Amino acid sequence: MSSRIFKTGSVAVTAALLAVVSAQPSSAATLYSAVWGVGSYHTSADYVPSAGTLKVGTYCNTSGVANYSYSAIVKTSSGMVNVTMPSYPCDSVWHNSSKYSTTASGGTAYYLRWYGQYDSNTDGASAASAGARMWR
């Protein structure tokens, strides 16, 4: 009997953990995104978000020579990079990094930078399709 209780508890915990893990990517509220064609470096147009926390996401497909990509949020007026996310594999999936964020000032313009990489340390690789986004 205690074995059945353990299994039931284990299944409940596993189901709860899976729900939390799978909810994170879909809970990303995209504020602004840009998608580009072939290239190893892209920048978006300016975007003026409301004040609050901004997070960054990256995307690249499996075509092209880029194996990894990362994105950054840049303050337009200063050109200062406010937040850069770590590299993620080019696997045709949007990657959101909730660990890396910046606080936006209301009425201030920001833009996105996207970088293609040969490996997780070497920029300059081209992807056939790339994207970056700001989210909360």
In a domain, 7, yes or no: no
Asked whether residue 14 is domain-assigned, the answer is: no
Range 89-116 average pLDDT: 94
Q: What is the pLDDT of residues 35-74, one digit of tens each?
A: 999 999 999 999 999 999 999 999 999 989 999 999 999 9
Domain that holds residue 33: 29-135
19: exposed, middle or buried (Cβ count in 10 Å: 0-12, 13-18, 19+): exposed
Q: Is 9 domain-assigned?
A: no
Contact predicate 55/98, CB 8 Å: yes
Contacts with 106 (C-beta within 8 Å, 6 or more apart), sequence order: 49, 50, 51
For residue 86, is it within any domain? yes
Q: Return the pLDDT at 28.
A: 65
Q: CB atoms < 10 A from the CB of 54, how many? A: 20
> What's the confidence (pLDDT) of residue 1?
37
Residue 68, both tokens: 């990894």
Strand partners, 119: 122
Q: List, for residues 15-41, the tens digit of each pLDDT value.
A: 332 222 222 334 468 999 999 999 999
* Domain-located, residue 10: no
Rounded-to-integer distance, Cα 10 and Cα 3, Å: 10
Residue 127 falls inside a structural domain? yes
Count the domains in the chain: 1
pLDDT value of position 97 = 83
pTM for the model: 0.78
**CATH number assigned to the domain comprising residue 54:** 2.60.120.380
The DSSP bridge pattern shows strands 81-84 and 52-60 to be: unpaired
Distance CA 82, CA 99 (A): 14
For residue 123, is it within any domain?
A: yes
Angle at 55 between CA 53 and CA 57, to 5 degrees: 165
- Domain contains 18: no
